[in-house]
């Protein structure tokens, strides 16, 4: 089963997106992702199979990219 994880980030421009994308590509459990730079929280949406949000937070934070999991309920 795939999960959609949503994060608040500090990604501001296309070069930030490319840097973050290189990190996300390196994680096999991530099937797709996208950034919404028009949103005030610079939202990152990640589709993954069983990946804990902390893994993505730690991956991006280690490279100086702020990343905070946003919880939601359907």
The DSSP-derived string for 12-28 is: -SHHHHHHHHHHHHT-T
CB 20 within 8 A of CB 70: no
Rounded-to-integer distance, Cα 8 and Cα 57, Å: 10
Beta bridge partners of 30: 48
4-30 average pLDDT score: 94
State pLDDT tens for residues 33-62. Answer: 999 999 999 999 999 998 999 999 999 999
Every domain of the chain and the residues it spans: 3-70
**10 Å Cβ neighbour count for 40?**
7
Q: What is the architecture of the domain spanning 3-70?
A: 2-Layer Sandwich (3.30)
């Amino acid at each position: 089963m795939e999960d959609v994880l949503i994060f608040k980030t500090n990604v501001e421009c296309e070069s930030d997106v490319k840097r973050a994308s290189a990190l996300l590509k390196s994680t096999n459990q991530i099937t797709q992702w996208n950034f919404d730079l028009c949103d005030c929280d610079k939202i990152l949406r990640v589709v993954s199979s069983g990946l804990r949000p902390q893994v993505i937070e730690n991956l991006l934070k280690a490279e100086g990219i702020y990343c905070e999991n946003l919880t939601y309920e359907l």
